[in-house]
Structure 1
Amino acid sequence: MRSRSFTSSPPPPRHSHERITPGRAHTHGRCGSPTFSTRFHLPRSLLDSISHVQIFKGKWSLIKVKLATLETRLSEISVSSAAENPLSFDLLQSLSATCSAVAFLSALCHEPTLRGGKLKTQNDIDSLSAKLDAHINDLGVLVRSGIFFASEYRKSVSSSMSVVESSRRESVRAEARNLTTRLQIGSTESKNSTLDLLLGLLQEDDKNVLIAVAQGIVPVLVRLLDSSSSSEIKERAVTAIAKISTVDSSKHVLLAEGLALLNNLLRVLESGSIFAKEKSCIALIALSNSKENARAIGSRGGISSLLEICREGTPISQAVAAGVLRNLAVFTEIKENFVEENAVLTLSALCNSGTDLALENSIGCLCNLVSGDDDLKLFVAREVGIENLKILLDSAPTAQNLEVVVQFVRTLASCSNIAEFLAANGFLNLVVGALSFGAMGVRIAAAKTVYDLAYSSKTKKELGEIGCIAPLVKMLDGKAVEEKEAAAKALSTLMNYAGNRKILRKEEKGIVSVVILLDRSFKNLDKKFLLSTLASLVHSKKCWKQMAAARAGDYLQKLVDLDVEGAKSLVDSLGRGKLWGVFAKH
């Protein structure tokens, strides 16, 4: 850390006795810096000189109090540790220069009449007083950081650790502790260079992020985002916070900073550089999932700032800004803010002009925004355009894009007027095609969409005729419970049309796949959709035989014993004579 220069006061005296002295048994320091022994002391001549001042006595009394505080702080420092630690060594050099300036200036005030200008001397005294405040603060930071004990601790660790990884981790911990301390003291230039070192450490490994967070780096970075910091420091600090926000195990520490962090990030959105805005958005993605934070962002003009980035930002910043908006749109309380800011128009435009991630986040935001509001669904459907939505569904560049577009279609289809329009404009074929997509998330979204699109006997018939049943039966054998349940739910509503029941009966594993899922071993799977499907097939003799072969009797009886809704009525429908006799033979 560089010494802080004192430009407004006269040069320090020539005599070394004006420096900080350490007491007895002096040993020579480096580069003419203060020497070290067992304990630090301020020069007695310095305090004597202040006691003889004739003018500005009030100001000098305050300086004397600050010097006493400094001496108390200095007494807490181990001289041997200070000599080994560059941070404390450089700070003591700077403190020595300040004390020399204090001694020189106090000597000028021994006479009731100044040789120089009174106003200039008064300003010099005030500057020295502020300088002493900074030294007191910096010494407090160094003492609290525990870095004076770091060298002994590292020696202990290195002698006891035989595992290389443990030794490396301790080295990172010591470096993170050191950087955290350096960010709290020194000049703007020093903090900028320290932030560069910190960013290098964080980018190297996510484990380094966890270590730095454990050393208390987050509160320090939040303070650096304060409006008094330079734009360069803010940009580097928000970059570090953005990196921390991408590591899931560290997000809770950012959330704990509350409105202090949130307000600073929003200020960056308003007045920071494009790069800083991008990093602020990345951090806000991690912070915008709570209702409290969402309200705060909405009430502080955050939505307006984010939409401005969506319109004018770089492709990357547009994508991450849309990601924050996507999180915010979940909360009903702030949806009005979106409407007031004409968010739909901006997000609709971004669907066509942004990156793949911008497309995913903007569609996802619209999907969250219109949920539960049919009027808004109709408005968004008009703004996005059905043909445009059809193109997105037919040619989504990535699996993530396709999944979110299918989810958007499903959300719109929950409004019967839109569902009818979608069915009449070729969406059924596109959704059924997605049922066989390689990514499970796309298949699940498509199955849920089938359920919402099957709003009438006509669409149920069309879905069956274009091949919807077979991929849904295949999904019943999927690995994830969510996939099984989505398929079972879609099948249960399709079975309300007689023609689809015939198609299912012809599926080689159709009935068997449904019956098997009645087994209690398939936990967290809602059985009511399976029971509904089987109930719709109860009058088919062929289905009876298939159910019997698949041990439906055993499964159903266990479900009846557990009072599962729909199980007893299905047993009653099956009949205790004719069909139950068939089950008894098995």
Structure 2
Amino acid sequence: MVEDGDEVAVDARSTEDWLLHAQELVPVVLDKAREAKGFAGRWKMIIAKLEQIPSRLSDLSSHPCFSKNALCKEQLQAVSRTLGEAIELAELCMKEKYEGKLRMQSDLDALTGKLDLNLRDCGLLIKTGVLGEATLPLAVSSSVAESDVATHIRELLARLQIGHLEAKHQALDSVVEAMKEDEKNVLAALGRSNIAALVQLLTATSPRIREKTVTVICSLAESGSCENWLVSEGVLPPLIRLVESGSAVGKEKATISLQRLSMSAETARAIVGHGGVPPLVELCQIGDSVSQAAAACTLKNISAVPEVRQTLSEEGIVRTMINLLNCGILLGSKEHAAECLQNLTASNENLRRNVISEGGVRSLLTYLDGPLPQESAVGALRNLVGSVPETSLVSLGLVPRLVHVLKSGSLGAQQAAVAAICRVCSTTDMKKMVGEAGCIPLLVKMLEAKSNSAREVAAQAIASLMVVSQNRREVKKDDKSVPNLVQLLDPSPQNTAKKYAVSCLGSLSSSKKCKKLMISYGAIGYLKKLTEMDIPGAKKLHERLERGKLRTFFSKK
């Protein structure tokens, strides 16, 4: 047999030579194994595995690409080395010349493991289909033709599945480098078996291998092309363990992977089921900026699933998110915290009370003081204001913050702010305060929004505020109020603001000037159709405008 160190001789042999060499060794090692003395149980197991080798070699050699396949040649070399070791151990047992019984038991167990690996790897070469693809050595020079790149990548991925751990480590290094240079082609070449091999490497004993593996898996998760494969191959438990106890890089990459995977509600539930919430909560408290933001985003994604919100609460997520809102390192962390609180308070009164008792309202209001108030924070406040006493909301400065959002926020943030106004204006005093804060011109302007839902909530808020006489006067003073409200009388099903528009115009119809404007902008035609649709208040307003129209007609006579 050729020694491992004799690289020249090894390289000189063809794949066919290595096949013949291995086939010649099998009967020799079987004869010697059957004559070995002692360790009968272990040798019986070894013989059973040796007897499987000829059929595996036959499967390999029958493949059309057998002779030119680099992986095939390397596998035959590995089998030959194992058979050589078996001969040496059998001869020692035959002569009973070995260094201690325990040492020989250990050597025989190691031999059994190598035979298992050889048999498994031979099977994988056949099953995975790489025999027809892999033709290049592991260390590929820069002169490899462009057309061979995809083939090389498929071979690298195949090498993650075969051989001993150090060989896989070497292949992993090559995959990491390949992804830096040509991530697109690596992703295109990935198969499910490659994903399974990577997931297995996440549990390797070597921290360096785990770190490199999770770096690759993070890229795969972020690509969005194989989330289902990753999850079905069991990636979640080892990722969660890395978040718990990995290196700084391992924690970061594992958390970013979970962030991407948790966008699926089913996977979010699975993360909770695998115990992923406590380490993510801890990372929000003590992690570096990137890991903290990724952990907050993952928890935000999980909080979008209603049935796990109580579990999140029990793990201390409310206080953690409020602390992030106050002290988060990155703005992104604060945004995720606000959105998480919005999700948690969407439908659960117990969670609302929990957020309120932990000082969440004050933190959310403070967060809104920035130049670009975020929709998520306003949405969380919208969910909470109905559970907070009016006096507390006033003392905390809710109304000025809502005005700030109406002036500076995105349309979504403005819409959430108006919804909060609708919920909080349950008393005359509060309606008066909102009107005095300057909300009405901003709400009238919002009636022109392209979004139907934004127009609807603005009309609803105006209708509520107009119960107070001074607010009605403010609406009358705005030149755009009547034209905008008349436009919202459109009877089409898409327009959901029409009932509020009728209410607002009804409150303005005592003014002759407003009635004339309504008529001039075509309100009567709209109201006739709305009367037929039984929209509340439409018939009464229609009749009032018709009477006004007649009076105008006769006064001209």
TM-score category (smaller protein): 0.7 to 0.9
Match of 2:201 in 1: 224
Q: 1:140 to 1:395 in 2, by over 3 A?
A: same
1:323 aligns with 2:305: no
1:183 aligns with 2:185: no
Three-state SS of the structure 2 residue aligned to 1:131 is helix
Instruction: State the AA in 1 paired with 2:340.
Output: C
1:461 aligns with 2:432: yes
Corresponding residue to 2:96 among 106, 114, 118: 114
Match of 1:270 in 2: 244
1:137 Cα deviation from its structure 2 partner: 1.3
The answer to whether the 8 Å contact 1:310/1:318 transfers is: yes
Match of 1:20 in 2: none
The answer to whether the 8 Å contact 2:405/2:417 transfers is: yes
Match of 2:141 in 1: none
Q: 1:223 to 1:555 in 2, by over 3 A?
A: farther
Instruction: State the AA in 2 paired with 1:345.
Output: R
The answer to whether the 8 Å contact 1:150/1:174 transfers is: yes
Range 526-535 or range 421-430, more displaced: 526-535
Match of 2:324 in 1: 350
The answer to whether the 8 Å contact 1:291/1:331 transfers is: yes
Q: 1:387 to 1:146 in 2, by over 3 A?
A: closer
Match of 1:22 in 2: none
Task: Give runs of aligned pairs for residues 149-548 of structure 1, distance below 5 A.
Answer: 149-150=132-133, 174-202=151-179, 207-208=184-185, 211-212=188-189, 217-226=194-203, 228-257=204-233, 260-288=234-262, 293-294=267-268, 296-298=270-272, 300-331=274-305, 333-354=307-328, 355-374=330-349, 376-384=351-359, 388-395=363-370, 399=372, 402-417=374-389, 419-437=390-408, 439-519=410-490, 523=494, 525=496, 527-548=498-519
Q: Deviations over 1:306-340 (max 9, x none)?
A: 22212221122222222222233345544444444
Corresponding residue to 1:574 among 527, 539, 542: 542
Q: 1:96 to 1:410 in 2, by over 3 A?
A: same
1:131 Cα deviation from its structure 2 partner: 0.7
Q: 1:50 to 1:478 in 2, by over 3 A?
A: same
CA distance in 1, matches of 2:192, 2:269: 31
Instruction: State the AA in 2 paired with 1:365.
Output: C
1:393 Cα deviation from its structure 2 partner: 1.8
Corresponding residue to 2:80 among 81, 96, 99: 96
The answer to whether the 8 Å contact 1:476/1:483 transfers is: yes
1:299 Cα deviation from its structure 2 partner: 5.3
Instruction: State the AA in 1 paired with 2:254.
Output: S
Q: Deviations over 1:421-472 (max 9, x none)?
A: 2234432122112112263333233222322332322222222233212222
Corresponding residue to 1:70 among 12, 34, 53: 53
1:94 Cα deviation from its structure 2 partner: 2.0
Corresponding residue to 1:133 among 97, 107, 116: 116
1:134 Cα deviation from its structure 2 partner: 0.5
The answer to whether the 8 Å contact 1:176/1:215 transfers is: no
Three-state SS of the structure 1 residue aligned to 2:407 is coil
Q: Deviations over 1:177-199 (max 9, x none)?
A: 33331211233333334334434
Q: 1:129 to 1:424 in 2, by over 3 A?
A: closer
CA distance in 2, matches of 1:176, 1:517: 60
Match of 1:44 in 2: 24
Three-state SS of the structure 2 residue aligned to 1:232 is helix
1:127 Cα deviation from its structure 2 partner: 2.0
Q: 1:521 to 1:183 in 2, by over 3 A?
A: farther
Three-state SS of the structure 2 residue aligned to 1:185 is coil
Three-state SS of the structure 2 residue aligned to 1:395 is coil
CA distance in 1, matches of 2:75, 2:153: 19
Three-state SS of the structure 2 residue aligned to 1:394 is coil
Instruction: State the AA in 1 paired with 2:118.
Output: H
CA distance in 2, matches of 1:311, 1:327: 18
Three-state SS of the structure 1 residue aligned to 2:301 is helix
The answer to whether the 8 Å contact 1:423/1:453 transfers is: no
Three-state SS of the structure 1 residue aligned to 2:235 is helix
CA distance in 2, matches of 1:251, 1:551: 55
CA RMSD of aligned residues (A): 3.9
1:373 Cα deviation from its structure 2 partner: 4.8
Instruction: State the AA in 1 paired with 2:337.
Output: S
Three-state SS of the structure 1 residue aligned to 2:408 is coil
Q: 1:124 to 1:291 in 2, by over 3 A?
A: same
The answer to whether the 8 Å contact 1:173/1:212 transfers is: yes
Q: 1:122 to 1:196 in 2, by over 3 A?
A: closer
The answer to whether the 8 Å contact 1:40/1:71 transfers is: no
Q: 1:517 to 1:175 in 2, by over 3 A?
A: farther
The answer to whether the 8 Å contact 1:50/1:106 transfers is: no
Instruction: State the AA in 2 paired with 1:136.
Output: L
CA distance in 1, matches of 2:484, 2:9: 83
Q: 1:443 to 1:85 in 2, by over 3 A?
A: farther
How many aligned residue pairs are there? Answer: 534
1:83 Cα deviation from its structure 2 partner: 4.7
1:261 Cα deviation from its structure 2 partner: 2.8
Three-state SS of the structure 2 residue aligned to 1:508 is coil
Instruction: State the AA in 1 paired with 2:440.
Output: I
1:356 Cα deviation from its structure 2 partner: 0.9
1:514 Cα deviation from its structure 2 partner: 3.0
1:47 Cα deviation from its structure 2 partner: 0.9
Q: 1:57 to 1:372 in 2, by over 3 A?
A: closer
CA distance in 2, matches of 1:485, 1:206: 47
CA distance in 2, matches of 1:256, 1:82: 32
The answer to whether the 8 Å contact 2:133/2:155 transfers is: no
CA distance in 2, matches of 1:201, 1:535: 70
CA distance in 2, matches of 1:353, 1:395: 14
Match of 2:65 in 1: 81
The answer to whether the 8 Å contact 1:41/1:74 transfers is: no
CA distance in 1, matches of 2:200, 2:148: 26
Q: 1:325 to 1:190 in 2, by over 3 A?
A: same
Instruction: State the AA in 1 paired with 2:341.
Output: L
Q: 1:176 to 1:516 in 2, by over 3 A?
A: farther
Instruction: State the AA in 2 paired with 1:81.
Output: C
Instruction: State the AA in 1 paired with 2:207.
Output: S
1:138 Cα deviation from its structure 2 partner: 1.4
Instruction: State the AA in 2 paired with 1:114.
Output: E
CA distance in 2, matches of 1:551, 1:508: 16
CA distance in 2, matches of 1:550, 1:248: 52
CA distance in 2, matches of 1:48, 1:209: 43
Q: 1:192 to 1:101 in 2, by over 3 A?
A: closer
CA distance in 2, matches of 1:465, 1:372: 31
Instruction: State the AA in 1 paired with 2:56.
Output: R
CA distance in 1, matches of 2:470, 2:64: 89
